[in-house]
Structure 1
Amino acid sequence: MKLIKQHLLPLATSIILGSAITGASTMSFAENRNPNTPVSMISEWDKTFPQSNKVTHRKVSFQNRYGITLVADLYLPKDQSNTKYAAIAVSGPFGAVKEQSSGLYAQTLAEYGFVTLAFDPSYTGESGGYPRNMASPEINTEDFSAAVDYLGSLDNVNREKIGILGICGWGGFALNAAISDTRIKAVATSTMYDMTRVTANGYNDVNDAEARYQMKKTINEARWQAAKNGYADLQPANNLRKELFTAETPQFVKEYSDYYTTKRGFHPRAVNSNPDGSWATTSNLSLINMPILQYASENRTPALLIHGANAHSRYFSEDAYKALGNKDKELYIVPNATHVDLYDNQAGKIPFEKLNTFFKAHLK
């Protein structure tokens, strides 16, 4: 267990969040830009998956209640009628962009007849927010509610029929949003992570209070330099690169790399894809100290939690399922699937029919 603790602590704050804080780089995006301004709004198709001829697509933007502009892809059923549609907001995984998994999920669900929105969370991708590559349990939960605001403003959407879907780390934020935002009528997660839990506790909860204290001490020491640069300093470069692997590198880390750093899932705007990219040096502080899902027992929103049977992260969904207080909930385990198998449909493992049935039942 000692070996696991020593090895997996850096992974929780390194592979999933970018890179280890120790030896933090002075690399930064020191731009004094207005958070109301998107980083970009590229109109041409630049996704990691083929464009469907069954839906229409357009780029949109909207603000969250912190004044940060979010950029998203809106997918609409091609055969539109005069009826108001049920809608679903999608985001994740943690460190990904809407051109990857969330866009694939959104486009596929639009083929089933939903209006869907795949968005880049604050501080990442094409969305605004500076300094870049910053995570926040509060703001990232708010991003889902802002997406609901936007969908509910559309003339062709029934605002009483809006659900959300979170993938990987945004699965935890989606559950948190569903607990707090009573307008959300259904919530689904796929290959879910609770980012606050894994950051504070490491994988399989091996970290104790002393380990957390040392993490906070290291990160807070990094603030002296970060403050000089508008908190834009980034952690050392992404270590999902294959050349950094050793005999001790876990298999699931290799699977992350196979998705993010190869033609299969690489996208230059994704934190986890960019070989020189990483999260801000102060990004982990709130994830360590502000746990989400504290009021899971008070959840009333119908919930579907999907996870791979062979995923290293399966326990996050299992524990969240037990914690949710609502009776209308389901834990759906995909046979022979790993964590990353549910990022794309390369292995044909994503249960889209299950998602379609769930959302149609609860957004009717």
Structure 2
Amino acid sequence: MSENIDIKTLNGYGTTLAAVINFPPDFDTSKAYPAIVVSHPGGGVKEQTAGLYAGKLADAGFVTVAYDASFQGASTGEPRQLENPHIRTEDVSAVVDYLTTLDYVDTDRIGAMGICAGAGYTANAAINDPRIKAVGTVSMVNIGQMFRNGWTNDVADADAAPVLQMGADARTADAAGKDNPFPLAPLKEEDAPNEELRQAWEYYHTPRCEHPNAPGFMTARSLSQILSYDAFHKAEAFLTQPLLVIAGSEAGSKWMSDDLHQRAASTDKSFHIVEGANHMELYDGEKEVAEAVSKLGPFFTDRL
């Protein structure tokens, strides 16, 4: 059972998040349930992998919320497709705000998970927000690291300066009324440099999982916020919650999961590797998602 809801944020940008709240089997409003916030990848929407995981975790006994980020999907905010990582982190806590208002949610048992950039934002939110009591990540991307250092960590920070200039140039162009899209996944199959990122194109731009609210690009001005952003900033001090990191053994992005797992202050942290899986297969691959959920469900059950 699920319902469409709107969540008004209090982050100062005045956005309202379009969301879906999912309920566990035999849901009873007189009871208090643990809850999980589920955050989508960069360029994604709640109807894709975030909604898939949210539905499966609801079946495991949780109230779950999958939502569209501010400025994206069915959520409000201008400019459209802005990917400001600081606001996306705030969105996670905005959903926590909402959950604390529900009588059927135990506010001492709220967790959060995300996929790809949504996992990085989830980690950042948990660093900032101790109301989040447990953290799960799947195919995690620290969006700042990815844009600075490349998909496979082969670019030095300083060598990403031209990308920072692109963001600055886009802001100037935006001020003159020009739109500047920037791809978050390959927009054409021939643009993909490898099979893993070809699957990213396939996921967002073919019937595999395309959605009209997920165009696969962001505003280029977003680069100005992204390049210096570290989703794991101060994880060594403040990410003390139980942490479960999940990544595919063949994922080019796995190094970012390695980094958080190493940096987090959590004394209860684990890393589950899905053997043979790449980054994208953990979005919607039947056996890969089943394996991830088989770890996430018991993790959140034990820690919340």
Same fold? TM cut 0.5: yes
The corresponding residue for 2:23 is 76
Alpha-carbon contact 2:115-2:137 (below 8 Å) kept:
yes
Alignment RMSD: 1.8
Could you tell me which amino acid in structure 1 is paired with residue 244 of structure 2?
L
Query: Is 1:59–2:9 an aligned residue pair?
Result: no
1:307 paired residue among 247, 250, 270 = 247
1:202 paired residue among 150, 158, 180 = 150
Could you tell me which amino acid in structure 1 is paired with residue 4 of structure 2?
K
Distance in structure 2 (CA, Å) of the matches to 1:209 and 1:258: 29
2:293 paired residue among 318, 330, 352 = 352
Flag the 1:324–1:222 CA change in 2: closer, same or farther, 3 A: same
Could you tell me which amino acid in structure 1 is paired with residue 196 of structure 2?
F
Alpha-carbon contact 1:172-1:293 (below 8 Å) kept:
yes
Query: By how many angstroms is 1:223 displaced?
Result: 2.2
182-191 vs 57-66, greater mean Cα deviation: 57-66
Query: By how many angstroms is 1:296 displaced?
Result: 0.9
Flag the 1:188–1:154 CA change in 2: closer, same or farther, 3 A: same
Alpha-carbon contact 1:131-1:232 (below 8 Å) kept:
no
The corresponding residue for 2:257 is 317
Query: By how many angstroms is 1:135 displaced?
Result: 1.1
Query: By how many angstroms is 1:215 displaced?
Result: 1.9
Query: Is 1:288–2:259 an aligned residue pair?
Result: no
Distance in structure 1 (CA, Å) of the matches to 2:299 and 2:158: 43
Flag the 1:236–1:316 CA change in 2: closer, same or farther, 3 A: closer
TM-score by length of structure 1 reads 0.78
Query: Any runs of at least 4 consecutive aligned residues in structure 1 with deviations exceeding 4 A, and if so which?
Result: none
Question: What is the total number of aligned residue pairs between the two structures?
Answer: 299
Query: By how many angstroms is 1:218 displaced?
Result: 2.9
Query: Is 1:167–2:112 an aligned residue pair?
Result: no
Query: Is 1:211–2:151 an aligned residue pair?
Result: no
Could you tell me which amino acid in structure 2 is paired with residue 182 of structure 1?
P
Structure in which a larger fraction of residues adopt strand? 2
The corresponding residue for 2:67 is 119
TM-score by length of structure 2 reads 0.93
Distance in structure 2 (CA, Å) of the matches to 1:338 and 1:209: 25
Query: By how many angstroms is 1:323 displaced?
Result: 0.6
Deviation string for 1:137-166 (max 9, x for gaps)?
A: 211111000010111111111111100011
Structure in which a larger fraction of residues adopt helix? 2
Query: By how many angstroms is 1:210 displaced?
Result: 4.5
Tell me, which stretches of 5 or more residues in structure 2 are unaligned?
none
SS at match of 1:165: strand
Alpha-carbon contact 2:148-2:157 (below 8 Å) kept:
no
Distance in structure 1 (CA, Å) of the matches to 2:171 and 2:288: 44
Distance in structure 2 (CA, Å) of the matches to 1:328 and 1:209: 31
Flag the 1:234–1:331 CA change in 2: closer, same or farther, 3 A: same
Distance in structure 1 (CA, Å) of the matches to 2:202 and 2:183: 20
1:265 paired residue among 196, 204, 209 = 209
Flag the 1:238–1:302 CA change in 2: closer, same or farther, 3 A: closer
2:197 paired residue among 246, 253, 260 = 253
Query: Is 1:361–2:298 an aligned residue pair?
Result: no
Bigger Rg, structure 1 or 2: 1
Alpha-carbon contact 2:185-2:201 (below 8 Å) kept:
no
Deviation string for 1:89-117 (max 9, x for gaps)?
A: 10111111000000010011111110000
Alpha-carbon contact 1:163-1:185 (below 8 Å) kept:
yes
SS at match of 2:209: coil
SS at match of 1:343: helix
Could you tell me which amino acid in structure 2 is paired with residue 336 of structure 1?
G
The corresponding residue for 2:181 is 234
Alpha-carbon contact 1:132-1:232 (below 8 Å) kept:
no
Distance in structure 2 (CA, Å) of the matches to 1:236 and 1:197: 16
Query: By how many angstroms is 1:347 displaced?
Result: 4.1
1:148 paired residue among 96, 101, 112 = 96
Alpha-carbon contact 1:310-1:338 (below 8 Å) kept:
yes
Query: By how many angstroms is 1:271 displaced?
Result: 2.8
Query: Is 1:336–2:281 an aligned residue pair?
Result: no
Could you tell me which amino acid in structure 2 is paired with residue 270 of structure 1?
A
Query: By how many angstroms is 1:240 displaced?
Result: 3.0
Deviation string for 1:23-67 (max 9, x for gaps)?
A: xxxxxxxxxxxxxxxxxxxxxxxxxxxxxxxxx111001122222
